[in-house]
Amino acid sequence: MTSILEEPLKTETTEATKPQRALACVLAEYDSPQAVAAAARQVMAAGYTRVDAHAPFPFHELDAALAIGKSRLPWMTLGAAAIGGASGLLREWWMNAVDYQFLISGKPLLSMPSNMPVVFACAVLFAAITTLVGMLLLNGLPRFSNPLLRSERFRRATNDRFFISVDARDRRFNLDAVTSLLQSSGALAVEECWTDRSGAKIPPLVWQGALVALALLCIPPAIIARMRATDSRVPRFHLIQDMDFQPKFKPQSTNAFFADGRADRPQLPGTIARGDLQDDDRLHRGLDSAEPIVAAAPPPAAPGAPAPDPLDAMPWVAEFPISIDVAVMKRGQERFNIYCSTCHGLGGDGDGLITQRALELEQGTWVKPVSFHTDAVRKQPVGRLFHSITNGVRKMPPMGDLIPVEDRWAILLYVRALQRSRNASVQDVPADLLPQLEAQ
């Protein structure tokens, strides 16, 4: 008894803790459930409200004795389950039926039966977590600094002893009254619990450790952030290559096996691919003869203009080997404007943008394209012109590889039209269009 009162006096004398002391509660110890239950009833009867009992295991006399009300916990659980299930279903619907739609085994995008298991799992998961967390929060846990826990005697509360604590903040609290009440309730011992802020401090080891851990945790995001912010010459990290780079040769890739390091190989001379026979000389060579003149073609980049042109001697076609209509003409115009006009000019006067620029810069090497409207060109048979387009002439590169054969003829057709337009007479205009012309 005295011992209980002396003990706090002892601590009072110590300087450090002096200002921090405050009475937390009065604690009484009992040896059996029955005893503590009886005592609890007694204390409650005395009108105290902030009373609690402590036992190593639950027993229900106390609930009644302390008039513990219903808990909100079940409702929290229910709500969580509902939210969990709903979120699960929502997720499945959005992911499989909205955001990432795929036809799978001929099943509908959203089929309830196959969605249920996940819905159920999510509901239970949410509910379970909420239950535990809810229980802890309602119990004010975790709470690591508790005056009770500083009492040597109270250590047996989780073992084999039973306690009642009356909170000092109780409206009707009065130390002596409470003490005597408790003593009279058959307590083995009664003691006062004092709050002691000093003990509330987290041990330094803990918060130091926590700080270090926190610092370490910051490093990876910091690195990532930096890498994302700065640009680097080396390619990005790609730890597992998966099938991003496969042991095969994509077009225009490299292959160290070949001296030139190219994976693409040239077609061998003399070989002919399927559909590449080009046995119609009129169409493919603009020549009107049984025998194609194979060797006659000059090399692609022939230097300068040769004096007596062997080409003059060859049997060029004078007529177009393709059927002619407006569509072809339009196609020809389009292709001409794409491929030819840059040098030859939209009108074919040899004043294309490139030419103009070259002349501005006074590039000596530049050979001005001839105008299509010179007699020399106008007199050339179409076959000859076709040959020029195909294999190039003077500075003009061979366009044969770039422009499909039909398009080359179409371009020629348009060129002919351009030539015609420069020296046409009124007679050439169709009668029905004449009025419009005169109107202007």
Site residues for other proteins, window 42-101 (CB under 8 A)? 52-59, 62-63, 66, 68, 71, 73-74, 77, 81, 91-92, 95-96, 99-100
Least distance to other proteins from the beta carbon of 430, Å?
32
Residues constituting the chain? 440
Query: Between residues 165 and 371, which has the closer beta carbon with respect to other proteins?
Result: 165
Q: Which is nearer to other proteins, 245 or 308 (CB)?
A: 245
- What are the backbone angles phi and psi of residue 85, rounded to the nearest 5°? -60, -50
Query: Which residue, among 370, 380, 366, 363, has the nearest Cα to 344 in the 3D structure?
Result: 370
Is residue 309 near other proteins by the rule CB under 8 A? no
Q: How far is the CB of 76 from other proteins (least distance, A)?
A: 9
How far apart CA 385 and CA 344 sit, in angstroms, is 14
From 86, 124, 324, 358, residue interacting with other proteins (rule: CB under 8 A): 124
Q: What angle do CA 279, 335, 426 make, to 5 degrees?
A: 105
Options 83, 148, 367, 370; binder of other proteins; rule CB under 8 A: 148
Binds other proteins by CB under 8 A, chosen from 19, 221, 247, 303: 247
Is residue 260 classed as helix, strand or coil in its secondary structure? Answer: coil
The CA-atom distances, in angstroms, between 31 and each of 54, 156, 192 are 11, 10, 18
Instruction: Give strand pairing partners of 229.
Output: none
Query: Helices 33-45 & 175-184, crossing angle to 10 degrees?
Result: 140
- Nearest approach in angstroms of CB 82 to other proteins is 13
Q: Pick one of 5, 22, 45, 104: the residue that binds other proteins (CB under 8 A).
A: 104
Residue 182 CA to residue 42 CA, distance in Å, equals 9
Q: Which is nearer to other proteins, 32 or 363 (CB)?
A: 32
Residue 401 is a binding residue for other proteins (CB under 8 A): yes
> Is residue 11 part of the contact set for other proteins (CB under 8 A)?
no
Taking CB under 8 A as the binding criterion, the range among 32-40, 344-352, 419-427, 429-437 that sits at the site for other proteins is: 32-40
Site for other proteins, residues 161 to 180, rule: CB under 8 A:
165
Closer residue to other proteins in complex, CB, 41/373: 41
- Considering the complex, what minimum distance in angstroms separates the CB of residue 217 from other proteins? 19
Q: Which is nearer to other proteins, 54 or 384 (CB)?
A: 54
Contact 367, 304 (CB under 8 A): no
Residue 325's φ and ψ, nearest 5 degrees, are -155, 180
65 or 418, CB closer to other proteins?
65
CB of 108 to other proteins, least distance (A): 5
CA distance 440 to 435: 9
Is residue 158 a contact residue for other proteins (CB under 8 A)? yes
Residue 91, SS3? helix
- Residue 226 CB, shortest distance to other proteins, in Å, is 17
**Which sign does the torsion angle of CA 174, 177, 180, 181 carry?**
negative
- Under the binding rule (CB under 8 A), the answer on residue 303 touching other proteins is no
Cα distance between residue 291 and residue 113, in whole Å: 76
Interacting positions 260-299 with other proteins (CB under 8 A): 260-274, 276-277, 279, 285, 290-292, 294, 297-299
Per CB under 8 A, the list member of 333, 398, 411, 412 interacting with other proteins is: 398
- 33 phi and psi angles, rounded to 5 deg: -55, -45
Residue 431 token pair:
């009668």
Residues 355-374 that bind other proteins (CB under 8 A): none
- 221 lies in the site for other proteins, by CB under 8 A: no
- Minimum CB–partner distance for residue 392 and other proteins (Å): 7
- String of DSSP letters for 166-212: EETT-TT--HHHHHHHHHHTT-SEEEEEEE-HHHHSPPHHHHHHHHH
Is 327 near other proteins (CB under 8 A)?
no
d(CA 36, CA 49): 16
Quote the least distance from Cβ 250 to other proteins, whole Å.
5
Of 105 and 365, which CB lies nearer to other proteins in the complex structure? 105
Q: Is 138 in the site for other proteins (CB under 8 A)?
A: yes
CB 31 within 8 A of CB 186: no
Of 24, 25, 39, 127, the one binding other proteins (CB under 8 A) is 127
Q: Which of residues 54 and 416 has its CB atom nearest to other proteins in the complex?
A: 54
Can you say how many angstroms the Cα of residue 258 is from the centroid of all Cα atoms in its chain? 39
